[in-house]
Amino acid sequence: MKKSLVALAVLAASGASFAQSSVTLYGIADIWFGNVKTDAGNAGAPTSSITQVTSGGVDTSRWGLKGSEDLGGGLKANFKLEQGFSLDTGAAAAGFNRVAQVGFSGGFGEVKLGKVSSAYNDLEAAAAAGFGSGALGPVAIAFQSDASYTSRPSNTIYYAMPTLSGFDAMVSYSFDEKAAGGMEVVSLGVSYSAGPVFAGLGYQTEQAVGSAVEAKYTQANVTYDMGVAKLLGAYGNVTNDAGVSGNDVSEWQIGVDVPVSTALTVSTGYAKSTRSFTVGADDKVTAFSVVGAYALSKRTYLYGGFATSTVDSTDVKTDRYAVGINHKF
């Protein structure tokens, strides 16, 4: 009888705890249909034209679980697990390849541990035209560092301070653990948001195990919302990109988002990236795009647009046309 009473007490306590907890299934399903035409320029290869259905036109398709438990006194325990997948094939990445984290939040801010989006990555696309589209956005196409920096490093400790008079600051450190393929990543971010103005600055260094070269990434983003239009500006500088000594990059973008109606917004932008080498000529990439997004609801919108880009060193020109759907759940 005594054991039964103890068991009931334990179940009651766990039930009370569960009542203060929440777990949410969430995700994004994003897919586009279009054509990518590439003129090989002086590379000598024939022009290619590929019509395709591809996942992730604006956002990477993903699903995840996230939750929190109220521990009392304003303290919460939080977790998040997120996996990317390809909507066109159904293939999924191994495990929770995007995010796997647990931590605490409260009046002191937030602490996260695990595989976490770095402080730099949290701000990297804050002023990206084309809604930050991976298929049509000028930053994704022209910024050569966009695919080379480590966005979600493993073995990370992350801290974000509470917002203070519009200012936010975050820092993250990722341990290389002296393992093959390990990467030490130090990342900082600071931003200010008040009324129509947003400004953010991110800085990140990366050094692989066994390498004497440290890559350094800096990016500043500014937006100004005038109501009839939102101005977008970004500037980035990279030293030893991808851990290659003397591989330096200077990048910038200007753009504007124009709300045509309550449902339709058009975003256009131009971006340029210049890569400097210790030996050899500079390499320039430019991109221009126009993208429209039409909201069907708070969670679903259609998008479509055009983007063109040129690589100066090879005179390769690529034109992209796409329409797609983005649904959040």
Q: How many domains does the chain have?
A: 1
Instruction: Please choose, from the candidates 287, 223, 281, 304, the residue with its C-alpha nearest in 3D space to the C-alpha of residue 251.
Output: 287
- Domain of residue 177: give its range: 108-328
Residues 93, 101: Cα–Cα separation, whole Å: 17
CA atoms within 13 A on the CB side of 175: 8
What's the pLDDT at 41?
79
Quick: pLDDT tens for 136-146: 999 999 998 89
Residue 6, domain member (yes or no):
no
Give the bridge partners for 317, in sequence order. Answer: 39, 310
Residue 82, domain member (yes or no):
no
Quick: pLDDT tens for 284-293: 999 999 999 9
Contact criterion met (CB below 8 Å) for 168 and 159? no
Residue 174, domain member (yes or no):
yes
**b (16+ CB within 10 A) / e for 251-273:** bbbbbbbeeeeeeebbbbbebbb
Residue 154, domain member (yes or no):
yes
Residues 97, 87: Cα–Cα separation, whole Å: 16
Residues of the chain with pLDDT under 50: 1-19
Q: How many CB atoms lie within 10 A of CB 223?
A: 21
Residue 49, domain member (yes or no):
no
Residue 268, domain member (yes or no):
yes
What's the pLDDT at 313?
86
Q: Report pTM.
A: 0.90
Residue 21, domain member (yes or no):
no
Residue 267, domain member (yes or no):
yes
List the CATH number of the domain containing 261.
2.40.160.10
